[in-house]
Amino acid sequence: MQLRPYQQEAVEAIYRHLRERDDNPCVVLPTGTGKSLIVGQVATDAVQRWHGRVLVLAHVKELLEQNAAKIQQLCPGIDIGVYSAGLNSRDTANPVIVAGIQSVHNRACDLGPFNLVIIDEAHLIPPDGEGMYNTFLEEARVVNPNLRIIGLTATPYRLKGGVICRPDSILNDICYEAGIKEMIVQGYLSPLRTRGGKARADFGSLHVKGGEFIATEIEAAMDTESLVREACREIVELTRERNAVLVFTSGVEHCHHVAVEISRLSGQECGVVTGDTPAGERAELLARFRSEMLPGGPFERKPRLKYLANVNVLTTGFDATNVDCVVLLRPTNSPGLYVQMVGRGTRLHPGKADCQVLDFGGNVLRHGPVDMVAVREGNGSGGPAPAKECPQCRALVHAAYQVCPECRYEFPLPERQSHGTRAGISAILSGEVENTDHEVQGVIYSVHTKRDASPEHPRTLCVEYRIGWHQYVSEWVCPEHTGFARGKFVAWWLERSVMPPPASAAEAVALAEDGALAQTTKITVRRIPGERFERVLRCEVGPRPEYYPEPGWNDCRDEEPQPKNVPARAYDDEVPF
């Protein structure tokens, strides 16, 4: 099986970190981008290339089965064991063991020494000194003091707040990261559309404990007869054209009330999954929701489920690619939980154009767009969220929009401030120029068409520099314009490539994605208080690649992208652990 380019890059980043440093790395990739394949590749290499032994830890049996299947798929010859009470298996002697942390947390000595421990859904690791992961790893280091640990997660912060990678934590640094936005742009994830609900509770009186709203207060706020009735009516109205609607509710009673009301209004059954749902019933409900019924199977006479409501069960480890609507019928103060819930709808599926997110909990306004969540230590998200709601159609959009992309409503211009508003970040006085240097962690190239422009209007090349966790700075260059704008693009291009400057934005994107441009390592960003947008003042780029494409290189752009101009296994054979 061929890894996707970013999966290959993640594997190489892990090995580079293990060779060059003596601490433990973490890979951050959005839900639905195939972290299990990375787990499988690392485990396969560790056993076959370097004769090591690997333990893969996860917290739910669905992830255990998924990881074991991917490793077996990548390398059928590897002997894989499973240690999980839920799967009724307790293998201990295999070179690769996939285990549930609940089953092995006090049995590290029974399993013997490992060279690598890979932790899936690593955001569930609690602070040092607490929990089953810490108990197990302390014992595992006694068995092998040279044990190395690798984490994978979609959210590098705990669900109750606080980053997971710190010098004094189990995981110490992010070695590779790709965001939701760039995965959507590259076609690996489904686009998202977000809309706020009319029916909303008053969340102003909710209290926070351990980084999250108190559960009883959430349910009391959301589970009122009028709010349930109005919210469910809106859900049914807005999902008539949707196929699989996953609803996150605020409590068990609330979940059952919502399911009854959705069923009454839609005339279709709404399934319910809670922590108390028996395993067999849960498996049946999930199979019907995924449309996995086969002729002659156990669910042959039961119709598929369009609606499925749950309480804190289907946030991680649940894979239903057909989900095309996620309903947040609860508030959360946890940016991690917010991203995990939305992530249930980001996977690609045949016939699925996008995923609609209906937010009745004020979560987008609280945390910001899912690709720009801001996190602060200890208490979830902080600062003003970069999102706003259209008063006309209730679309939730980035704060920089001046015209709603859904209904064309024009937002009123904000009053220009005479002073900077961010202590320590912006200059004190309006008009005072501030230049800041940023290391560039990745670049996204895309074609930008001016809104309401005619088909003949020149398009631009949008270049988005990733400078942090879901932090981007953009610039636009103009390959299809004439005069000064074209000349500026030509100079920009020749600084980065040995190829002649392309005549169109689409060709520029294709060449950039094919490896024709030098790597951008650092940018200088200019901010002026009172102005809405930042400007890229200058860029530092690496050497221009010796890139000369084969004839017809651009004939198959719709096929699955593969790594370009790099051997499939570019890393060397030095043992990384």
Domains parsed from the chain with CATH numbers: 5-179 (3.40.50.300), 190-398 (3.40.50.300), 434-541 (no CATH)
**Local structure of 489: helix, strand or coil:** helix
The pLDDT score that the predictor gives to residue 160 is 64
Residue found under tokens 């595992």: 140
Q: Contact 489/461 with Cβ under 8 angstroms? A: yes
The pLDDT score that the predictor gives to residue 301 is 66
Of 150, 194, 139, the closest CA to residue 57 belongs to 150
The pLDDT score that the predictor gives to residue 558 is 44
The pLDDT score that the predictor gives to residue 416 is 43
The pLDDT score that the predictor gives to residue 555 is 53
Supply φ then ψ for residue 165, to 5 degrees.
-100, 110
Q: What is the DSSP secondary-structure string of 496-518? A: T-SSPPPSSHHHHHHHHHTT-SP
Of 380, 404, 376, 375, the closest CA to residue 392 belongs to 404
Cβ atoms within 10 Å of 474's Cβ, excluding its own:
16
Of 355, 337, 357, 336, the closest CA to residue 346 belongs to 355
Cβ atoms within 10 Å of 423's Cβ, excluding its own:
7
Would you say the pTM of this structure is higher than 0.85?
Answer: no
Half-sphere exposure of 406 (CA within 13 A, CB side): 16
Name the token pair of 355.
């995923």
Q: Contact 89/99 with Cβ under 8 angstroms? A: no
Q: Contact 59/105 with Cβ under 8 angstroms? A: no
Walk along the chain (577 residues) and give the pLDDT tens digit of each residue. Answer: 789 999 999 999 999 999 999 999 999 999 889 888 999 999 999 999 999 999 999 887 777 887 888 788 877 888 899 999 888 889 999 999 999 999 999 999 999 999 999 998 888 888 766 689 999 999 999 999 999 999 999 888 776 667 888 888 899 999 999 888 889 888 899 999 888 888 878 888 899 887 889 999 999 999 999 999 999 999 999 999 999 999 999 999 999 999 999 999 999 999 999 999 998 999 999 999 998 754 455 555 688 999 999 998 898 778 899 999 999 999 999 888 898 899 999 999 999 999 999 999 999 888 888 877 756 554 444 455 567 888 888 888 766 666 777 777 877 865 544 333 333 333 334 445 678 899 998 899 988 887 666 778 888 999 999 887 667 888 989 999 888 888 889 999 999 999 999 999 999 998 998 889 999 999 998 876 555 567 898 999 999 998 877 665 555 444 444 444 444 444 556 778 7
Q: Quote the CA–CA distance of 181 and 267 in Å, as a whole number.
A: 36
Of 35, 273, 68, the closest CA to residue 155 belongs to 35
